[in-house]
């Protein structure tokens, strides 16, 4: 998530003036009331929570695609550390170790007729990388108002918030109306096959059919959309799919001093250029229309005219969104050539050349459709197409409705914990563990309830990952309000 580029702002501004003249201001919506403020007393019950998160950050739970390359000790220590940090919760709730990378908690509700809810997070992290950190990546240092370390943002903070909120409610004698499951996977960063996939299978075997699932995703974005008058709590109601597509061209090998008219590398280059000249068609999905419509009260008048009825202004919006990569990705399936290979020597012709196209699939389309379209475009070049990394493709998840009880509960909890922000639905382009639960839940909503700037987000998978004490407490307050409100 990045600020909207200046070129789009200029184009949208011009379009909005035109629409305003034509509509004689007939489509404008009232401006939203001034942003609210949070009473600091609401965070008091979660004072000191940063110490608990820091203890979890100090465990270097780095996941790898090959289990043999992992250090298993931190993963074994992690459940024991949770018991030390949240003793009341572990004394009262059932916890099952599911496989070797899943932790499942069950909190029975008072009304068995209500469908349960699942609150998910992951506790594995990516490696610290080669760039030096200001503080050691697994120090869990508490300094300058932050917890420092890998996993502090992604996503041990949400796991901590869930457990802290539940423990506080247990201490208050609260019992949820619907049954709650807390599902924590330990390999999300490498696909979730050993964690979330097994957790979902376990729930499926128990006959669980949940109303909704909450997982990581959007954030409370601070200053990332320059023309919005307040921070935006971005709730991911849809998630793009993913597939890597391999192109291969064959040719005659031999010495480069006597090349044929067409080489394998040249054939492949033409195919890649042809793909780039034919992007997937653009369209406004339910998610993007909902995002624009719900955003409209928080933007200047001209933008409100365009955003309030995105179906009417679709052509103008598509043209504007297509102008920059960040917004273009919201309205179409994207394809990017990321790997190219041919001969391994300068003066030798390759007998085959290969490219990999990374594709992020818009909801409503399919992996099979992507492969078929790419094949039809490059077939004239004699290039063959196949799915790379068989079995690792992910279909786009269905778009979840904003009129669902889960979304209403999430919105209410966000309004209570971040009253200064506007809650809007959003398309999440990255992958999450939520894909594994799609067939056992009615709806999926994705947000990490932490307020972040673009600078803050640079720490996710980068150096100097950290999270502020206030964010940790607000995250717990969000889950406290969510559990009480559903």
Q: Which residues are catalytic?
A: 124, 188
Alpha carbons within 13 A on the beta-carbon side of 205? 7
- Between helices 6-23 and 301-308, what is the axis angle to 10°? 80
Residue 26 in contact with residue 449, Cβ under 8 Å?
A: no
Name the residue among 420, 457, 425 with its Cα closest to residue 153: 457
**Burial class of 300 by CB neighbour count within 10 A (0 to 12, 13 to 18, 19+):** middle
Give CA–CA dist 191/27, Å, rounded: 45
Distances (CA, A) of 302 to 16, 24, 174, 296, 329: 4, 11, 47, 10, 23
Residue 364 in contact with residue 397, Cβ under 8 Å?
A: no
Calculate the dihedral angle through the C-alpha atoms of 485, 82, 471, 43, rounding to the nearest 10 degrees: 60
Name the residue among 101, 291, 124, 307 with its Cα closest to residue 198: 101
Residue 179 in contact with residue 106, Cβ under 8 Å?
A: yes
Chain centre to alpha carbon of residue 53: 21
Per the omega criterion (within 30 degrees of 0), is the bond before 116 cis? no
Q: What is the largest CA-CA distance in the chain?
A: 83
Residue 441, classed as helix, strand or coil, is strand
Name the residue among 318, 317, 321, 319 with its Cα closest to residue 307: 317
Residues near 100 by beta carbon (within 8 Å), at least 6 away in sequence: 75, 186, 194
Q: Which residues pair with 292 in a beta bridge?
A: none
Residue 447, classed as helix, strand or coil, is strand
Name the residue among 233, 289, 301 with its Cα closest to residue 30: 301
Name the residue among 323, 319, 337, 366 with its Cα closest to residue 276: 337
Name the residue among 365, 236, 243, 228 with its Cα closest to residue 288: 236
């Amino acid at each position: 998530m990045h600020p909207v580029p200046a070129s789009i702002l200029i184009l949208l501004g011009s379009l909005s003036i035109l629409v305003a003249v034509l509509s004689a201001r007939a489509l404008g919506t009232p401006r939203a009331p001034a942003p609210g403020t949070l009473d600091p007393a609401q965070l008091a019950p979660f004072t000191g929570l940063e110490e608990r998160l820091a203890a979890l950050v100090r465990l270097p739970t780095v996941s790898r695609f090959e289990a043999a390359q992992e250090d298993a000790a931190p993963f074994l220590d992690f459940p024991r550390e949770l018991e030390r940090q949240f003793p009341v919760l572990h004394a009262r709730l059932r916890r099952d170790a599911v496989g070797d990378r899943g932790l499942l908690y069950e909190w029975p509700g008072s009304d068995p007729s209500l469908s349960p809810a699942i609150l998910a997070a992951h506790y594995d992290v990516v490696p610290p990388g080669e760039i030096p950190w200001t503080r050691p990546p697994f120090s869990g240092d508490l300094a300058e108002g932050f917890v420092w370390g890998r996993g502090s943002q992604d996503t041990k903070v949400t796991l901590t918030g869930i457990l802290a909120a539940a423990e506080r409610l247990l201490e208050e004698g609260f019992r949820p109306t619907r049954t709650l499951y807390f599902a924590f996977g330990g390999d999300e960063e490498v696909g979730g096959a050993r964690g979330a996939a097994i957790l979902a299978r376990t729930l499926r075997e128990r006959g669980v059919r949940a109303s909704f699932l909450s997982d990581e995703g959007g954030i409370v974005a601070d200053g990332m959309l320059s023309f919005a008058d307040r921070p935006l709590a971005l709730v991911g109601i849809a998630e793009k799919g993913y597939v890597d597509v391999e192109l291969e061209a064959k040719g005659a090998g031999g010495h480069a001093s006597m090349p044929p008219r067409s080489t394998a590398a040249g054939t492949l280059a033409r195919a890649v250029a042809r793909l780039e000249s034919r992007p997937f068609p653009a369209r406004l999905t339910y998610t993007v229309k909902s995002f624009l419509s719900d955003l409209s009260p928080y933007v200047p008048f001209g933008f409100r005219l365009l955003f309030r009825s995105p179906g009417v202004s679709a052509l103008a919006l598509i043209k504007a969104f297509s102008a920059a990569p960040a917004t273009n990705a919201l309205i179409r399936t994207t394809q990017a050539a990321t790997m190219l290979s041919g001969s391994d020597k300068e003066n030798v012709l390759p007998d085959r050349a290969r490219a990999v196209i990374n594709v992020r699939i818009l909801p409503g389309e399919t992996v099979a459709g992507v492969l078929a379209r790419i094949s039809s475009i490059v077939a004239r070049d004699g290039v063959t197409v196949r799915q790379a990394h068989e079995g690792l493709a992910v279909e786009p998840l269905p778009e979840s409705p904003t009129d669902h009880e889960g979304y209403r509960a999430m919105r209410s909890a966000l309004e209570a914990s971040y009253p200064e922000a506007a809650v809007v639905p959003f398309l999440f382009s990255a992958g999450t563990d939520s894909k594994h639960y799609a067939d056992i839940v009615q709806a999926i909503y994705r947000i990490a309830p932490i307020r972040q700037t673009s600078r803050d987000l640079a720490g996710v998978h980068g150096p100097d990952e950290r999270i502020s004490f206030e964010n940790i407490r607000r995250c717990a307050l969000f889950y406290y309000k969510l559990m009480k409100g559903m």
